[in-house]
Amino acid sequence: MQAPLGSHSSPGVPVPPFLAACRREATAHTPVWLMRQAGRYQPEYRAIRKRLGFLELCKTPDAAAEVTVMAVAQLGVDAAIIFADILLVLEPLGVGLEFAKGDGPVIHRPVRTAADVDRLAPFDPAQLDFVYQAIRLARAGLPRDVPLIGFAAAPFTLASYLIEGSGSDGWVTTKTFLFGDPGAWRALMERLVPVLAGYLNAQIAAGAAAVQLFDSWVGCLSPADYRAHVMPHVRALIGSLTPGVPVIHFGTGTAGLLECMRAAGGDVIGLDWRVDLDAAWARLGAGVAVQGNLDPVALLAPIPEIRRRVAEILGQAAGRPGHVFNLGHGILPPTPVDHARALVDAVHELSARGTTG
């Protein structure tokens, strides 16, 4: 059988460090990439956004590919992530998605009842063809040894936007829906899982060599609610993804949920900065890789302080195979580009193995 497009598994070609780390194989240095590495902290991105609205940019494959590739060229990271958004899958479901200027995402017809779940429009992965086109273009523009990451929301985080209709602090409306009508919640999860699986598998077919599930807001749940109402659906989703493609399972505020997330699945567990990487890895066990976990605010500090914090995290990982360096959440808009670049350089320099000095 032919290897998948993004597999980087041609004979004689070394496995890129990012993919090797996902598989817990030894690497010459710790690979690093940054969540939201293409975004508003870059003057070039802000210039493109003067011409194109955010959704327009996502739907213009050559522009989306351009910002994806530009971030890699500017930072020297070990992986690219396709420029898109976790909420793009909501448009085909017919709920009315808008990115209002300065206010973040708005869903005009949020899901509040079992009948609303039934009314969601049928989904065909081809409706998001612009994402797969962007992936093909980005793949063609990237250096051969830089894998491209595809992504989607995990079912809980996608549902939380669908139900709230926007971002939220405590996700009270989402949890009220879940606690008040667990049957409707389950129906919603069972509706979203095939949508997300179809979308991610199409990204993989287009050239994504790994995928990340963003369960950004799942940390608002108790472990018992996670096990009962989230874990089976994440498990089903991961189980329906193309085999052999590493899955990064990321969440924030998940210190109480790490064992549950591990049980739900993923080759790599994404950690935020509220946990010590070594303690978290000990809880997860040696059979899984970890990604993280510098506080994004650290990039606003002077460069020597950034390097000190990088050394601290690398010290916790202690050179064990299976660490992908990243921030604990997305890069913040006020981050100076040269600080992001200094972070990548520090990770490469301070983790270099198999060299003298």
User: Which residue reads 């530009």 in tokens?
Assistant: 70
Q: Which residues contact 250 (CB under 8 A, 6 or more apart)?
A: 35, 212, 213, 214, 215, 216, 269, 270, 291
Closer CB to ligand CP3, 154 or 277, in the complex = 154
Q: Name the pairing type of β-strands 97-100 and 104-107.
A: antiparallel
**Set 49, 109, 307, 341: catalytic member:** 49
Q: Confirm if 214 and 326 have CB atoms less than 8 A apart.
A: no
Could you say which DSSP state residue 225 is in? Answer: H
Closer CB to ligand CP3, 256 or 315, in the complex = 256
User: Does 330 participate in binding ligand CP3 (rule CB under 6 A)?
Assistant: yes
Q: Confirm if 63 and 52 have CB atoms less than 8 A apart.
A: yes
Q: Which residues contact 9 (CB under 8 A, 6 or more apart)?
A: 3, 15
Distance CA 149, CA 8 (A): 13
Q: Could you say which of 19, 20, 32, 38 contacts ligand CP3 (CB under 6 A)? A: 38
User: Could you tell me where the beta strands, DSSP code E, fall in 101-233?
Assistant: 104-107, 148-153, 210-215
SS3 80: strand
Is 161 annotated as catalytic? yes
- Sole window of 37-45, 106-114, 230-238, 299-307 interacting with ligand CP3 (rule: CB under 6 A): 37-45
User: Does 42 participate in binding ligand CP3 (rule CB under 6 A)?
Assistant: no
Is 307 annotated as catalytic? no
Farthest CA pair distance, the chain? 65
User: Does 206 participate in binding ligand CP3 (rule CB under 6 A)?
Assistant: no
Per rule CB under 6 A, count of chain residues that contact ligand CP3:
21
- Sole window of 33-41, 125-133, 268-276, 279-287 interacting with ligand CP3 (rule: CB under 6 A): 33-41
**Set 45, 78, 85, 272: catalytic member:** 85
User: Does 200 participate in binding ligand CP3 (rule CB under 6 A)?
Assistant: no
Rounded to the nearest angstrom, the gap between the alpha carbon of residue 163 and the centroid of all alpha carbons in its chain is 21
Closer CB to ligand CP3, 20 or 38, in the complex = 38
User: Does 36 participate in binding ligand CP3 (rule CB under 6 A)?
Assistant: yes
User: Does 104 participate in binding ligand CP3 (rule CB under 6 A)?
Assistant: yes
Q: So which residues are the catalytic ones?
A: 36, 40, 49, 85, 161
Binding residues for ligand CP3, per CB under 6 A?
A: 35-40, 49, 54, 81, 83-87, 104-105, 151, 167, 214, 216, 330
